[in-house]
Amino acid sequence: MKVVLENFTKMSAKAHGLRVLGSAALNMSMVALGAADANYEFGIHAWDVCAGDLIVREAGGVVIDPAEVHSI
């Protein structure tokens, strides 16, 4: 939890605002809609983002797994 809060603090210092809706797929849908510029998740599983992944890609967006453990 400490790492998550540290990352959140670092991002908030460089952003106009941060929004957390409680669902990875919902957060990703906000990006697809154009209501958010980006989405960052920490410690997430593939099943948490698979619906959001499809929605973002269908809207012409890009989904990246920075850990490169597997392609989402």
Q: pLDDT band at 69, cuts 50/70/90?
A: low
How buried is 28 (Cβ within 10 angstroms: 0-12 exposed, 13-18 middle, 19+ buried)?
buried
What tokens were used for 44? 């997430």
Report if pTM > 0.75: no
Residue 1 has pLDDT above 80, yes or no: no
- Least trusted range by pLDDT, from 41-50, 52-61, 63-72: 63-72
Pick from 65, 13, 58, 60: nearest CA to 39: 65
**Mean pLDDT throughout 3-24?**
80
Q: Do the annotations mark residue 48 as ligand-binding? A: yes
**Mean pLDDT throughout 40-67?**
89
Residue 17 φ/ψ, nearest 5 degrees:
-170, 155
